[in-house]
Amino acid sequence: MKPPLWQSIGFYILVGVIVLQALFPFYYAILTSLEDGQALFEVNYLPRALNLANYQAMLSGGVFGKQILNSVFVATVVVILSLFLAVTAAYALSRIRFRGRGLLLLTVLSVSMFPQIAVLSGLFEVIRYFGLFNSLWSLVFSYMIFTLPFTVWVLTTFMRNLPIEIEEAAIMDGASSFTIIRRVFLPLMWPAMVTTGLLAFIHAWNEFLFALTFLSTDSQRTVPVAIALISGRSEFEIPWGNIMAASVIVTLPLVALVLVFQRKIVSGLTAGAVKG
């Protein structure tokens, strides 16, 4: 049955509102990043100039390139370590019976209850103690406190849904535990791993508070803090053009990642409903 006209119109208006609400801020950031000087302060909704000076300024002048690499390094290492630990932990938590398994799972989950600000001062002491202050490893360490609980949980749930007979068949075929994980579980868990890995990457990429606290020099900073601390020639000038150009630059990797893994993400999010 074809829906009445007003319903179709209403539907597309609603879609338009949602898309506008989600994309407009980013669109405006792009517009602003392409403008220079006085043009910045005139309100316009269509591009008037195509001026790449802001991008040039950001990428050539100083440490921003290094800061992007810092972010890439931190986020990538966090994702790799989290997934490696989470897959092995999920195997144990979903497949091996041991005393206190349920309690352990709840404990893992409860770690993610604490607001960042609540653990900040204690964590600062820990990081000082380990001599990680102003090192990127301080962020790798602290971000994993938040990425591991959900990667472990999601992957444990996912692995529980994989039929145990597949694993037993692999055992009968003579595969070792490590081979089972690598040859049987990993290929089946790709969608879940891509999804959780991407969420962990986004979290690590966007994190602000720890990055602000644990790093003290410009060349060590990650991009969210770096952008917040971009300053103009005087304290009364906020270089909007540069800030927006930097924001657009750091958004692009995430957009690219999501587009590349789009299909896997969808199947990962609906994985619970699909049988292996």
* Residues at the contact surface with other proteins, assessed by CB under 8 A: 163, 165-166, 168-175, 179, 183-184, 187-188, 276
What angle in degrees, to the nearest 10, is found between the helix axes of 53-60 and 64-95?
Answer: 80
Contact 211, 135 (CB under 8 A): no
Q: How far is the CB of 150 from other proteins (least distance, A)?
A: 25
Residue-wise burial string across 155-175, b where 16 or more C-beta atoms lie within 10 A, e elsewhere: bbbbbeebeeeebeebeeeeb
CA angle 200, 155, 179 (to 5 degrees): 110
Q: How far is the CB of 81 from other proteins (least distance, A)?
A: 25
- Taking the least distance from each CB to other proteins, the nearer of 43 and 96 is 96
- Taking the least distance from each CB to other proteins, the nearer of 77 and 184 is 184
Look up residue 190 and give its two tokens. Answer: 């790709």
Q: How far is the CB of 205 from other proteins (least distance, A)?
A: 30
Q: How far is the CB of 162 from other proteins (least distance, A)?
A: 9
Contact 212, 225 (CB under 8 A): yes
- Taking the least distance from each CB to other proteins, the nearer of 149 and 191 is 191
- Taking the least distance from each CB to other proteins, the nearer of 145 and 184 is 184
- Taking the least distance from each CB to other proteins, the nearer of 18 and 186 is 186
- Taking the least distance from each CB to other proteins, the nearer of 66 and 168 is 168
Q: How far is the CB of 59 from other proteins (least distance, A)?
A: 42
- Taking the least distance from each CB to other proteins, the nearer of 37 and 173 is 173
Q: Which of 127, 152, 147 is nearest to 78 (CA)?
A: 147
183 secondary structure, DSSP code: I
How far is residue 246's CA from residue 33's CA, in Å, rounded to a whole number? 8
How far is residue 133's CA from residue 146's CA, in Å, rounded to a whole number? 19
